[in-house]
């Protein structure tokens, strides 16, 4: 299936992507690519078809490298990005139908770009958000580019949410995940005078680090608990109340408090495994 208009490219797109070939070379490549793909579609010999498609891949490898170069310096090795781009170019050559009357690059470039983005989605997160947020983050990024061109200015969260037809809270969470590809350096300066570093704020005690990590990991699971279960956890582990005190607070027996704690703790452990 051909990629939507927003992802298409013009005949000049290879140059915008960083291709070094001049106009004549681009035209020659375009004509040769179209001829090879037409021959591949017409031949009944599977080996010959693959050979012709492989020639298309070799002819357009510079385009794949140019697309991969867009995403350099974001936490994934350049060779891995290039490899993903080459694989996508091969898939595009195998799947392109020359009878649809479109230029090969209008199909191949979005295919390559999508494969490189999937490389980030699957392997590029230093801190891995839930898969729906990873997917939405990519959609938000694309929507912001589209809306910036349409509106003539950077879109607001409400604009992006309306465009994607998703809640504003989800857009905000996706935007906050944008920094998960590459972690902030611990040497980053902080403070009004910039003399301190982020690393100086970290606890020296391993137990404090473990406790902080546990709180971050447990927060989403705790938010899914009902209000009473959250109250019991708060009173027991933050207010340090006894089971008898908790029972008086929520109006149940001490035995029921014991059962609630056992159930909730087992549930939280299960979500962390």
pLDDT of residue 50: 92
The predicted pLDDT at position 256 comes to 92
Six-digit token string for 138: 């990519």
Q: Within 96-154, where are the H helices?
A: 104-123, 131-151
Sign of the C-alpha dihedral, residues 115, 21, 106, 99?
negative
CB neighbours of residue 92 within 10 Å: 24
Determine which helix (DSSP H) or strand (DSSP E) holds 57, and give its type and residue range: helix 46-59
Angle between helices 131-151 and 168-176 (to 10 degrees): 100
The pLDDT value given to residue 193: 58
CATH number for the region 131-180 comes to 1.10.10.10
Give me the percent of the chain exceeding a pLDDT of 70: 67
Tell me the average pLDDT across 50-65: 91
**Would you state the structure tokens that stand for residue 1, as one six-digit string?**
């299936």
d(CA 2, CA 112): 13
Phi, psi of 190, deg, nearest 5: -135, 170
Tally of CB atoms within 10 A around 124: 21
Return the structure tokens found at 36.
């090879």
Tens digits of residue pLDDT in 152-209: 777 888 888 899 898 888 887 777 655 455 444 555 555 555 555 545 555 555 555 4
Give 2's pLDDT tier (boundaries 50, 70, 90): very low
Domain ranges across the chain: 5-123, 131-180, 224-272
Domains 131-180 and 224-272 share a fold: yes
| 224-272 has CATH 1.10.10 classification | yes
Considering the chain, what is the average pLDDT of its residues? 75
pLDDT score recorded for residue 56: 92
Alpha-carbon span 195 to 189, nearest angstrom: 6
């Amino acid at each position: 299936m051909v990629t939507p208009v927003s992802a298409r490219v013009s005949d000049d797109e290879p140059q915008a992507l960083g291709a070094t070939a001049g106009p004549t070379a681009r035209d020659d490549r375009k004509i040769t690519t179209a001829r090879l793909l037409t021959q591949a579609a017409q031949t009944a010999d599977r080996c010959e078809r693959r050979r012709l498609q492989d020639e298309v891949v070799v002819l357009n490898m510079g385009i794949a490298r140019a697309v991969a170069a867009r995403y350099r310096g974001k936490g994934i090795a350049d060779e891995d990005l290039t490899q993903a781009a080459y694989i996508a170019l091969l898939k595009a050559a195998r799947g392109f139908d020359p009878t649809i009357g479109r230029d090969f690059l209008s199909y191949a470039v979005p295919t390559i770009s999508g494969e490189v983005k999937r490389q980030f989605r699957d392997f590029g997160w230093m801190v891995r958000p839930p898969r729906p947020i990873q997917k939405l983050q990519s959609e938000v990024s694309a929507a912001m580019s589209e809306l910036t061109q349409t509106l003539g200015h950077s879109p607001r969260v409400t604009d992006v949410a309306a465009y994607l037809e998703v809640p504003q809270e989800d857009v905000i969470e996706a935007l906050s995940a944008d920094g998960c590809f590459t972690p902030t350096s611990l040497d980053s300066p902080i403070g009004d005078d910039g003399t301190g570093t982020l690393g100086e704020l970290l606890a020296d005690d391993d137990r404090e680090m473990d406790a902080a990590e546990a709180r971050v990991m447990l927060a989403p699971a705790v938010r899914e608990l009902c209000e009473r279960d959250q109250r019991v956890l708060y009173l027991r582990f933050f207010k340090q109340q006894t089971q008898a005190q908790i029972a008086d607070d929520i109006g149940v027996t001490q035995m029921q408090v014991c059962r609630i704690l056992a159930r909730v703790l087992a549930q939280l452990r299960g979500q962390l495994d």
